[in-house]
Amino acid sequence: MPLTIIEINRAKTDGAALKLPDKDGLYLRVTKTTKGWRFDFRFDNRRYTISYGLYPSVSPAKARELHQEARRQLAEGINPAFRKRLEKLARGASFGNSFEATARNWYEGKQEQRSHAWREAHDLYLRRDLNPYIGDMPLSQVDARALLNVLEKIRIDRGVKIAERVRQTAVQVFDHAIRKLRIQANPARVLQGWADIPPQVSHEPLREDEIHEFVERLDADTGSAATKLCILLMLLTFVRKNEIAHARWTEFDHENAVWVIPAERMKMREPHVVPLSRQALAALEQLKPLSFASDYLFPSLSSIYKPMNLATPNVVFERMGYGGRFTPHGIRATASTWLNNRGVRADVIERQLAHVERNRVRAAYNRADYMSERIAMMQMWADFVLPDHATTGGTLSVPLPQYVEQ
């Protein structure tokens, strides 16, 4: 007689597992913690056991239905244990048909063997640039035209080099889909050469004797005062270009002389604190009326509700005569070189540059912020770049107000 619900619910054991027969070889295996439906059988003179799931997730009726299907397969000369194993493998290989699901399957299969930088970059390009636009689209519908529209938007928002890196991430996702027999062609490969990618520009630092010349050329430039102050603040804080160009006033604490850059604008997706020197605070004071009550320090020329275009500082660098040999990113190397030559500890410099420790063991234990040393370091650098006498108007054509210590 088949087991009843009452018999199943009452079944208990304090020791060895129990086997309660149900019907046609189906039985309920009862342990201290589980009750599972099973079937033992022989196939090609070997003994097999197949499990249909745990009660009550699998009801008696469902277990009997699965059991009858297994018996039918046996009658046809098919091993139901093999069939179930193949179905499980097929389910494991079935990761969905959307771009986002395919990308996640590709990324998770690679991340353990890849570097932290690789994981951070591709995770960012997928999460920020690709999934919001094509993530829920079936792979077969993401053609070259759809992907090109995404790349063009990224080119406008973040620059052509970032857009090309996003395309290369998409190439790998679609190649993965081809290997999994989901699609036959890679639309991201079709778009190779979709834009003229500028050659890699050197980020070589300025020599120490060239730093003051750079400030003098910045002073002499005929561009807008706001853009010149953007470059000056970049020099004083040696942050990345997007971190200063898209900065908001709410990120600055003038009373405590710090700037907290939110995680979403940082390369490593962690908030970053920048101590502000006297010169940086003075520059911010001068900048305030030039931002036209915008939330951004450097609003776009077209709208105060949008930040400055990231290409704007590069235009000034070109006009100043540094095209092809010194870029906004080179400021970071310039400051790092100068500080290292002054004997500042490497850990302090690297922490201020927001670089990630590549040694995983060291990174796990080294959580120090070195804030007191960083404050002194930033003031030492600012005093070299823009000595106090320069803040009275001798260096910038738009004079910076003098900051007086209380």
Candidate list 83, 116, 128, 267, residue with the active-site label: 267
Candidate list 212, 329, 370, 403, residue with the active-site label: 329
Is residue 351 annotated as a catalytic residue, yes or no? no
Residue type, 66: L
Candidate list 355, 358, 362, 389, residue with the active-site label: 355
Is residue 212 annotated as a catalytic residue, yes or no? no
Candidate list 46, 360, 365, 367, residue with the active-site label: 365
Q: What separation in angstroms does the CA of 300 have from each of 219, 296, 374, 385? A: 22, 9, 32, 27
Q: Is 381 within 8 Å of 236 (Cβ atoms)? A: yes
Is residue 10 annotated as a catalytic residue, yes or no? no
3-state secondary structure 106-153: HHHHHHHHCCHHHHHHHHHHHHHHHHHHHCCCEHHHCCHHHHHHHHHH
Q: Is 273 within 8 Å of 370 (Cβ atoms)? A: no
Is residue 365 annotated as a catalytic residue, yes or no? yes
- As a whole number of angstroms, the distance between CA 37 and CA 84 comes to 15
| Alpha helix (H) residue ranges in 202-264 | 208-220, 225-237, 241-245
Helix (H, G, I), strand (E, B) or coil at 38: strand
Candidate list 122, 240, 265, 272, residue with the active-site label: 240
Is residue 133 annotated as a catalytic residue, yes or no? no
User: Tokens 């009750």 sit at which residue?
Assistant: 35
Is residue 267 annotated as a catalytic residue, yes or no? yes
Candidate list 64, 165, 265, 332, residue with the active-site label: 332
Task: Give catalytic residues, as residue numbers.
Answer: 240, 267, 329, 332, 355, 365
